């Protein structure tokens, strides 16, 4: 993590008036005079609802029936999000993980998928992902 000076003043106060997720991290204060110096640090843990999740499929491109396929949903959240996967409007799985794995995908798995990211501060749905199969 990069260190940089936020404030140098005789008052010794730094105010975060509209805190955001980017403000989280370690903050330290150094006081010094002609007799010496001392420092102290504190960690600020900014918690927030999940941000818009992204969904992806691996491997990308054409998906052959019988192949191994993984759908991934990821979202920035603190605390970490739990994920729920949906096919059309049917709930498939609720998991603390981000992946939905098909060891051998079949024509029954063809369809529209989306996920929900959720923590104690809120929830948000991803955009939809259409999974299509090529016949072998």
Residue pair 91/67 in contact (Cβ under 8 Å)? The answer is no
Q: Where are the domains of the chain?
A: 54-131
DSSP annotation of 59 reads S
Q: What digits encode the pLDDT tens for the residues 65-77?
A: 899 999 999 999 9
Task: Read off the pLDDT of residues 22-60 as tens digits, 9 standing for 90 and up.
Answer: 888 898 888 888 999 888 889 999 999 999 999 999 988
Handedness of CA 54, 60, 65, 68 (dihedral sign): negative
Topology (CATH level 3) of domain 54-131: Immunoglobulin-like (2.60.40)
What is the tens place of the pLDDT at every residue in 86-121? Answer: 998 888 877 667 899 999 999 899 999 999 999 999
Is pTM, for the whole model, over 0.85? no
Give the separation between CA 122 and CA 77, rounded to whole angstroms: 10
């Amino acid at each position: 993590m990069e260190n940089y000076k936020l404030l140098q003043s005789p008052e010794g106060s730094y105010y975060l008036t509209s805190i955001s997720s980017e403000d989280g991290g370690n903050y330290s204060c150094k006081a010094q005079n002609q007799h010496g110096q001392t420092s102290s640090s504190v960690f600020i843990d900014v918690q927030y609802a999940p941000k818009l999740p992204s969904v992806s499929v691996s491997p990308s491109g054409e998906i052959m029936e019988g192949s191994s396929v993984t759908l991934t949903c990821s979202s920035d959240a603190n605390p970490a999000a739990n994920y729920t996967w949906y096919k059309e409007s049917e709930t498939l799985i609720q998991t603390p993980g981000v992946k939905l794995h098909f060891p051998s995908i079949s024509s029954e798995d063809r369809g529209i998928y989306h996920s929900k990211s959720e923590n104690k501060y809120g929830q948000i749905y991803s955009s939809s992902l259409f999974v299509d199969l090529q016949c072998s």
